Amino acid sequence: MARMHSRKRGKSGSTRPARLEKPVWVELSADEVENEVVKLARRGHSKSKIGIMLRDSYGVPLVKIVTGKSISQILEENGIESPLPEDLTNLVKKALALREHLESNHKDLESRKGLQRTEAKIYRLIKYYKKNKVLAPDFKYDPEKIRTIVAR
């Protein structure tokens, strides 16, 4: 699938493990992995960061293979939820950083175009999440108000 604002195709991305059973080198039990996921989430790490940390530190290729549940399901069961989906949060952080940059660099037209493209992606994602009832129907993207939500 092509990128949104270019005609190129993305090549990067990690490869998911081919085997769908628990590897022999994983020494952690399902409960230990769940506890580690909850502990890392309470420290403020995102879902993708948690998966990377478990892979690199504990050798867990996929949390779902070991526990039978995804990271999202584990966090939902333990009452740990973020107010916005992770991809939307990352785009909002990028847009806020671009706005901050443009406050001191008014004539940086490339950054202004980058901000427009980033906010176009944000509006598209918000529309998608409203349609799928992940976000409230009256949710609006206001950079000043959303700064407090993302800052948590």
Mean pLDDT by 10 residues, the chain (152 residues): 74 77 86 94 92 92 91 93 90 95 96 96 96 94 87 64
For residue 16, is it within any domain? Answer: no
Q: Identify whether residues 61 and 112 lie together within a single domain.
A: no
Look at residue 22 in the predicted model and tell me its pLDDT: 83
Q: What is the pLDDT of residue 1?
A: 53
State the residue range of the domain holding 51: 30-77
Describe the chain by its helix, strand, coil percentages, rounded to 5.
55, 0, 40
Number of structural domains, the chain?
A: 2
Residue pointed to by tokens 């960061």? 49
Amino acid identity at 148: T
